[in-house]
Copies of this chain bind each other. A is one copy, B any other.
Amino acid sequence: MEHQSNNIVMEKIKVAINGYGVIGKRVADAITLQDDMELTGVCDVVSDWRINMAVSKSYPVYGFDQPVNNQMKEAGIPVMGSLDDMLQTADIVIDCTPKKIASQNIELYKKLGKKFILQGGEKHETTGHSFSAENNYETALGRESTRVVSCNTTSIVRTLTALKNAGLLKKARGTLLRRATDPWESHLNGIMNTLVPEKDIPSHQGPDAQTIDPSLDVITTAIKVPQTLSHLHYWNVQLTRQTTKEEVLRAFANSTRIAMINYSDGLPANNTVKELMLEMGRPYGDMYEVAVWKDMLKVQGDELFYAYIVDNQAIVIPETIDAIRALTGVEPHAEKSMRKTNESLGIKQSFY
């Protein structure tokens, strides 16, 4: 398939998705919204409603291996072949399989000479490159592979990069209240009426942010909380100098993926922000932006305090789309890729 860009007819990037779960299904939908990408298949191991939804969207469905293919056929799913077959159709594969599974697929991708993108559950070393569009798009250009960092890490790099670029960031210390599990599987798994600290200080997100930008002086702590909607971050940033709230807001405004919300505007909690996304018609009520409370944000001398919400199911979707353009080199400029992605997904800096 072809598309027009600057009056030159270009091949669309052929993208396959391995793993059709919380992230995979969102990446699939996002790819169908890009004029320079084509979804050539999705691959999974399940034969239930989840993969039937891909069929109903006319996505080409592949089974992981022959036994899975047989199960899918028995379930009446029009299976196109196995993972190997799907990979033949694609220029690049997005691995959205569960944590720690992806690393087992890497050899296959390499053997077939396919570029690949892993998600944040995998280690930095699996690809040797970690990706966050506003920070390091250019360093991924033409690479064979990258890892889109996790939802929490993405939010950290996005916000701290904005402060760093404004010359304001000295060091940042964050406390992360992590949603206990994803809503669709909260019947299997979760926590109730308690709080579960992550044992290690620093928690893994701070060091993970440094895989993208080693210059970030960032330390995180994290706690699992009994809710499923989204993460909530609290940050205390030591600035390089005394400044004003207005200057900080201008720094954040330089990121196209940070949106400001106001507590006093009927948005005092995670559930209200989720409802706003649903009312905006976002698929799944997804929020791709980091939503920072403008009226809570406080500058005191050379210290900055703020809180924001991270939609753990959604924030990495635009990052993954940009990573596809970076690895394939179809768009050398981060800003141009992000602009395309932002427009296609309706990403904005102010929700209304």
Chain A residues with CB under 8 Å of chain B are 173, 175, 177, 191-197, 199-202, 219, 221, 223, 225-229, 232, 234, 236, 263-264, 268-272, 293, 295-298, 300, 303, 305-307
Contacts and interface: CB of A to CB of B under 8 A. Distances in A.
A57 to B, nearest CB: 29
Given A197-B263, A296-B200, A232 B226 contact: no
Which of A201, A293, A307 is the most central at the interface, judged by chain B CB atoms within 10 Å of its CB? A201
Contact of A226 (B219, B223, B226, B236): B226
Given A177-B223, A225-B226, A225-B227, 9 more contacts: A195-B232, A195-B269, A196-B269, A197-B268, A197-B293, A199-B296, A219-B305, A221-B307, A223-B307
A177 B307 contact: no
A303 B232 CA distance: 23
B223 A305 contact: no
Contacts of A306: 201
Contacts of A191: 269
A261 to B, nearest CB: 11
Contacts of A175: 175, 234
Nearest to A198: B296
A193 B296 CA distance: 22
A70 B146 CA distance: 76
Nearest to A272: B194
Contacts of A234: 175, 221, 223
A324 B334 CA distance: 66
A311 to B, nearest CB: 13
17 contacts: A173-B303, A177-B223, A192-B227, A193-B226, A193-B229, A193-B271, A194-B271, A195-B227, A195-B232, A197-B268, A197-B296, A197-B307, A199-B263, A199-B296, A200-B296, A219-B303, A226-B227
A269 B192 CA distance: 11
Given A195-B227, A223-B232, A269-B191, A298 B177 contact: no
B307 A202 contact: no
A173 B236 contact: yes
Contacts of A297: 201
A199 B269 contact: no
Nearest to A273: B194
A225 B232 CA distance: 11
Chain A to chain B: the 7 pairs with minimum beta-carbon distance, closest first: A194-B271, A175-B175, A201-B298, A196-B269, A193-B227, A175-B234, A201-B305
A199 B263 CA distance: 7
Nearest to A293: B197
A224 B309 CA distance: 15
Given A221-B234, A223-B234, A226-B226, A177 B201 contact: no
Nearest to A296: B201
Nearest to A308: B197
A226 B227 CA distance: 7
Contacts of A298: 201-202
